[in-house]
Each structure stands twice: as C-alpha cells, then as structure tokens.
Amino acid sequence: MTERDSALVRHFPRVLARSAGGTVNLAVAGASALGAAALHSWPVLALGGAAYVALVAWDMATPTFWRQVLSGKPEEEAAARLPDVDALKDARVRDAVRAIAAARAQLERTLKESPEAVRSHMGLALSSLHELEGRAARLAVRGEELARFLGSADPGAVREQIRLAAEQAAGTRDAEARAQYESARAAREEQLAALVDIDAARERVLANLSRIAATYQGLPAKVMRLHALDAQATESMYGDLNEELGRMNGEIGAFEETLKSFHEVRVGT
C-alpha cells in the first residue's frame, strides 16, 4: 500500500461519517421511514434504505465530495481561521500567530507558482494543513484564556498565605483552631498546585504554536523542492509530507484533549 493509499484509508471513516450524516441522505432515509410507517409497507422501507445506501456510495466514490470533507465544513471555517493578530493580548501568542499567517501567505504564493501536478499531489497534505491551522486557531484562543487567567492570579500571594497559615497553626494551642489553620493551608496548597498546572499548560500551548509555526515556515521550501524535481518527485515524497502533517495533527489533537480539563477552571485568589 502506498503512502497515498494509507492516507485515504486514514481519512475514510471521517468521509463516511460525513456522508452518512449528510442532510440530503438523512432526509431520504427519514422520508422513506415515514412513508413506510404510514403505508405499513416493508418494500417502501427497503427501497428507501437502498436509496440511502446508494447516495452514501455515490458520495464515497466522488473525489469532489472527499475534497469538500477534507477541507472542512463551511460552518467550521470560522473556527479554523486564525484569530486577528491585533486582537491578541498575549505577546507570545501574537508572535506565533503572526508567524503562521506570514508562512501561510508564502506557501500560497509558492503553490500558485508550482505546476498543476504538484498542487494535485499536495491535495491530501493541504487538507491536513487546513486541520492543523484549525488546531492553531483553537490553541491561540486557549493560550489567550490561560494568559488572561494567570494575569489575574498572584502565586506569590498564595505562597505567602500558605506560610502564614502554617505559622498560625504552629502558634496556636487550641486543637480546633490548629485544624482549621491546617485546612486553610491545604486549600491554598491545592490552589497553588492548580496555578502551576495552568502555567505549564500555557507553556505547552505556546510550544505547540511554535511547532506549528516552524512547520508552516518549512513548507514553502519543501513545495519548491517538489517543484524543482517535477517529474522526478515520487509518491513517497508526497506521502512523507502528508504523514508528517497527519502525525502532527494527531499529537496536537491529543494535547487539545488534555487542555479540556482547564476549560472550566475557577481558582480563587
């Protein structure tokens, strides 16, 4: 199996799910089910099911449908679009997004100057790149959220409160008061641990944005190399690029899942 075939197999479940859940296809299935129920007719239901299967099969055999799915839903385009650089408050997030946007513009110029054969072979890789840009957009938003939260917190003040609670616990002779001071100290220690975790998550967001920026910045040169090789460029070379982007999407996707635990973070200060 070639790298290109492997990429098609990897994207097959996504394309199949889109077709199976398509508005037109589901409408046909639903209308058939309602008609069969109204007429108490199994043949009508069978015909409707066959029509639904045929529509899904047609989608799966249509290259245009694959391109539409792999390029993202229209309603997802806004979510996949990089945020406005001028609207970003965190300097490091802003620099990463600016670098990605500049590299994307250079890549688009390079592709326009490339032969049709290169652009055609780059189809799957560009679909992965669209997905990667969506991840960058979401990471930028999350990085802003984490930076804003950390800007409102004061780890130094929390450490001082931990020290004070420990001192008060040690200085009292009353067992009940000591227990309450110890409880307050433990709560503050949990708060500080949460702040440390959030700061680490922000740093990982920035690291992933930096990685995406570096990947984007390296793509124009890779496309130009394929352009220079032209007919000598092999399927495996295109496959390697697509595999690299696919692997990166998977790794960053896994990181996005870990970030969900911070989505509703509310740490008192």
Mean per-residue pLDDT, 7-15: 65
Distance CA(114)–CA(142), nearest Å, equals 35
Helix, strand, or coil (residue 154): coil
- Please say if the pLDDT value at position 71 is more than 50: yes
29 lies in which domain range? 1-70
Residue 165 confidence (pLDDT) = 94
Residue 77 confidence (pLDDT) = 47
159 in a structural domain: yes
Residue 261 confidence (pLDDT) = 62
Distance CA(86)–CA(251), nearest Å, equals 28
Whether residues 195 and 63 share a domain: the answer is no
Distance CA(177)–CA(181), nearest Å, equals 6
Whether residues 45 and 80 share a domain: the answer is no
Nearest to 124 by CA among 251, 10, 253, 1: 10
Q: Tokens 């001082």 label which residue?
A: 160
Task: Indicate the residue among 55, 70, 85 that finishes a domain.
Answer: 70
Whether residues 27 and 61 share a domain: the answer is yes
Q: How confident is the model at residue 206 (pLDDT cuts 50, 70, 90)?
A: very high
Whether residues 53 and 161 share a domain: the answer is no
Whether residues 224 and 140 share a domain: the answer is yes
pLDDT digits (tens, 9 = 90+) for 13-70: 766 776 666 555 554 455 455 555 555 555 545 655 666 666 667 666 666 566 666 6
- Please say if the pLDDT value at position 166 is more than 50: yes
Whether residues 193 and 222 share a domain: the answer is yes
pLDDT digits (tens, 9 = 90+) for 209-260: 998 888 888 888 888 777 777 555 555 665 677 677 777 778 887 877 777 7
- Decide which of 129 and 53 is more confident: 129
